[in-house]
Amino acid sequence: MIDRETSKKDPLVTARKTPDDTVQFENVLRPKTIAEYIGQDEIKGHLSVVMQAAKKRKEPLEHILLHGPPGLGKTTLAQVIAHEMNASIKVTAGPAFERQGDIAALLTNLSEGDILFIDEIHRLRPAVQEVLYTAMEDYAIDMILGKGPSARSVRLSVPRFTLIGATTKVSMLSGPLRDRFGSIFQFHFYTVADIERIVERSAKILGCKIDSSAAHILAKTSRQTPRVANRILRRVRDYSEVHDYSLIVDEAVRKTLDMLGVDACGLDAMDRKILTSIIKKWNGGPVGLNTLSSAFSEEEATIEDIYEPYLMQIGFLERTARGRRVTRHAYEHLGMEDRYREQAHLM
Ligand code: ADE
């Protein structure tokens, strides 16, 4: 039987948003300008050209789609874009729209040049997406007023706005929606060096001092994800304050990571449980996502979007046509090389 406890606790070190990432904690750390935004250099390069061109033509930006694993700064970048374009931004999420009228009301209340940010855009209902298509393309929406024989369609105009959509699952977006974005940017996991710079910048904002070796350890265990790095940093700051450290040193980071159950590769208890269970129960795999989902009482989407991307990024898990498989690197990390040798002939 797999212990469900770990997965039901707040995911302290996975990239999923927690209450701790709400306005008062995460927003202070968000960069405001493109110059302050660290990493994702390719995206920033393209984006600067697109923004400068739109400014030169005095036109609103074309619609932009941002996709990639959670915690990599998609919302932050949308806010940076709004700042750089001197535009106001309305932030919302796909599941917030139940009916066509909900999105129609929002769109018709925008002003020229406004940015509408829709997080989890893949979760918009098809009927809501339809309203969005015409708004994106024609800056108009067609609404049916009334019912039965007296029903009639009216076309309402929408101010020229920019939609920034964000998703962890670009494959779930319909073709017509995807085609209406002028730019599509894919986020990648950060390098350890970039996470170190983010940690040092965040420490300054939080008013704590961290030495470079401690920042390096923290960066290496942050799943190459700024949200995770900033969260661990806040916990390290707590630890350091309680223990009267005036400078955050290696020991404070190590002790905090121990407390959080995070290992040298940034894996938490749930990651290790996923890997060891696949090894012990399914001989290392392949095992289907639905089987894992019921074994861990965790939604398929959570396993797929929260846990798997980093395990695959560091080469501990592979997706094959027949299911998920644990790699030799993971066996080695977990100290289970013997099992690897036993099971290798079954693979
Ligand atoms: N905080 C979170 N993400 C960041 C980024 N990409 N650059 C700077 N600070 C950040």
pLDDT above 70: residue 53: yes
DSSP β-bridge partners for residue 89: 115
Show the CA angle centred on residue 87, arms to residues 84 and 90, nearest 5°: 120
Query: For residue 6, how far is its CA from the centre of ligand 1 (angstroms)?
Result: 28
Confidence grade of residue 34 (pLDDT, cut at 50, 70, 90): very high
- CA 226 to centroid of ligand 1, rounded, Å: 6
Say which amino acid occupies 312: M
The mean pLDDT value for 114-138 works out to: 95
Report the pLDDT value the prediction gives residue 14, as an integer from 0 to 100: 66
Catalytic member of 227, 235, 273, 324:
227
pLDDT tens figures, 257-285: 999 999 999 999 999 999 999 999 999 99
Atom of ligand 1 nearest to the CA of 197: 8
Catalytic hit among 14, 30, 119, 162:
119
| Cis, bond preceding 286 (omega within 30 deg of 0) | yes
State the pLDDT at residue 9: 45
At residue 22, does pLDDT exceed 80? no
Task: Render pLDDT for 140-191 as a digit per residue (tens, 0 to 9).
Answer: 999 888 888 999 989 999 999 999 999 999 999 999 999 999 999 999 999 9
Q: Mean pLDDT over residues 27-43, rounded?
A: 96
Average pLDDT score over residue span 125-136: 94
Q: What separation in angstroms does the CA of 243 have from each of 247, 258, 259?
A: 11, 16, 14
Protein residues with CB under 6 Å of any ligand 1 atom: 29-31, 37-39, 73, 76, 198, 201, 226
CA 191 / ligand 1 centre spacing (Å)? 12
With a CB cutoff of 8 Å and minimum separation 6, the contacts of 47 are: 34, 64, 77, 81, 183, 185
Check residue 21 and give its pLDDT: 58
pTM for the model stands at 0.90
- Among 84-88, 136-140, 181-185, 319-323, whose mean pLDDT is lowest? 319-323
Buried b (16+ CB within 10 A) or exposed e, 23-41: eeebeebbbeebeebbbbe
Q: Is the pLDDT of residue 10 over 50?
A: no
Clarify whether 162 is annotated catalytic: no
CA of 273 to the centre of ligand 1 (A): 30
169 tagged catalytic: no
pLDDT at 4 over 60: no
Task: Tokens 């066996």: give the residue.
Answer: 331
Q: How confident is the model at residue 345 (pLDDT cuts 50, 70, 90)?
A: low
Ligand 1 atom with the shortest distance to the CA of 72: 3
Residue 298 pLDDT: 92
Buried b (16+ CB within 10 A) or exposed e, 89-117: beebebeebeebeebbebbeebeebbbbb
The mean per-residue pLDDT over the stretch 226-237 comes to 96
| Radius of gyration of the chain, Cα coordinates, nearest whole angstrom | 23
Res. 333: pLDDT tops 70: yes
Mean pLDDT, all residues of the chain: 92
Per-residue confidence band for 346, with pLDDT thresholds at 50, 70 and 90: low
Q: Tell the residue nearest (CA) to atom 1 of ligand 1.
A: 30
Phi-psi region of 146 (alpha: psi -120 to 50; beta: other; left: phi over 0): left
- What's the pLDDT at 344? 75
In this prediction, residues 89-116 reach a mean pLDDT of: 95
Q: Is 75 a catalytic residue?
A: yes
Mean pLDDT of 180-208: 97
Q: How far is CA 209 from CA 135, 217, 248, in A?
A: 48, 15, 6
Mean pLDDT over 89-118 rounds to 95
Q: How far is the CA of 307 from the centre of ligand 1 (A)?
A: 21
Pairing of strands 162-167, 115-119: parallel
Active site residue 108: no
If you measure from the C-alpha of residue 156 to the centroid of ligand 1, how many angstroms do you get, rounded to a whole number?
39
Beta bridge partners of 115: 89, 162
Pocket perturbation via mutation, ligand 1, pick of 30, 191, 206, 224 by most ligand atoms within 8 A of CB? 30
- The single residue of 75, 76, 225, 256 carrying the catalytic annotation is 75
